[in-house]
Amino acid sequence: MINKCLFPVAGYGTRFLPATKALAKEMMPVVNKPLVQYGVEEAIEAGLTRIGFVTGRGKRAIADHFDISYELEHQISGSGKEKYLESIRSVMSKAQFSFTRQNEMKGLGHAILTGETLIGNEPFGVVLADDLCLPDPGQPNVMAQMVKIFNQFRCSIVAVMEVPEDEIHKYGVIKGEAMKDGLYRVDDMIEKPSKDKAPSNLAIIGRYILTPDIFDIIRNTKPGKNEEIQLTDALLTQAQDGCVMAYRFKGTRFDCGSVDGFVSATNHVYENLYTE
């Protein structure tokens, strides 16, 4: 059974400065809900109810968000405004939260390794909250789709989508042998290649399921692109030594780490999902 999910949330959010000077980027609201809550709700719906955050300096608001605010509860109790707290109360009743801090920014691989203390020796999901993934109406969400595949293959899985050639340099990119139903067996993977070096147009999106041998592999992974310890490099080792699958998920993804993506997500949620 897989029931843990790791959220690396220590990044600075420089693209949203000055908004993110004192505000954790994961707390930016898409309409009335912080970005990170969408990710946590997705994990819970997929059955991953033990949520671990790899946080950093200036991110206290994330821990406060998933904790009880006694003043607020007291103030709002019986006031007719309780409905505004329903979604976060529901999240809090269904999941347990734990936190550890990454005190140096050495890349996504390093963030995942920092989370080892929260995960231990079991498979786990990873959600990068910047990537807001919304399911097709009535369909399971992206993490739930991945859990289903994990239960079949029992190896690490990365979510992928096709991206235009001139955007490929922003992503980890895979090459793989196509199997059925949007599944690929990965045989190559490169972090943020130039478009002439990209092995395909299939970019990794911020949803992963990882088997725990990834921790030792990361420990032995040298800094790569931008001198950071890259999860993509560790996953390539795992693919070469064993098996990694890539899965072309069903649903819509918004790159909320960019202003354009964030605005599109906001419009989409307001028009399709928001109810007062």
CA distance 274 to 16: 23
- Pick the closest to residue 55 from 134, 118, 143 (CA basis): 118
Which one of 95, 147, 205, 245 is in contact with ligand G1P (CB under 6 A)? 205
Contacting ligand G1P within 88-117 (CB under 6 A): 108
Query: Could you say whether residue 233 binds ligand G1P (CB under 6 A)?
Result: no
Given candidates 172, 176, 224, 251, which one binds ligand G1P under the rule CB under 6 A? 172
Task: Give the phi and the psi of residue 34 in degrees, each rounded to 5.
Answer: -65, 145
CA distance 42 to 102: 24
Q: Does 204 bind ligand G1P (CB under 6 A)?
A: yes
Closer of 115 and 172 to ligand G1P (Cβ): 172
Of residues 17 through 76, those in contact with ligand G1P by CB under 6 A are: none
Structure tokens at 115: 């989370």
The span from the CA of 266 to the CA of 38, in Å, is: 12
Among 26, 41, 42, 191, binds ligand G1P (CB under 6 A): 191
CB of 251 to ligand G1P, least distance (A): 15
What is the closest distance, in whole angstroms, from the C-beta atom of residue 67 to ligand G1P in the complex?
26
Contact 205, 253 (CB under 8 A): yes
The 10 Å Cβ neighbour count of residue 50 is 19
Which residues contact ligand G1P by CB under 6 A? 108, 128, 131, 171-172, 191, 203-206, 231-232, 257
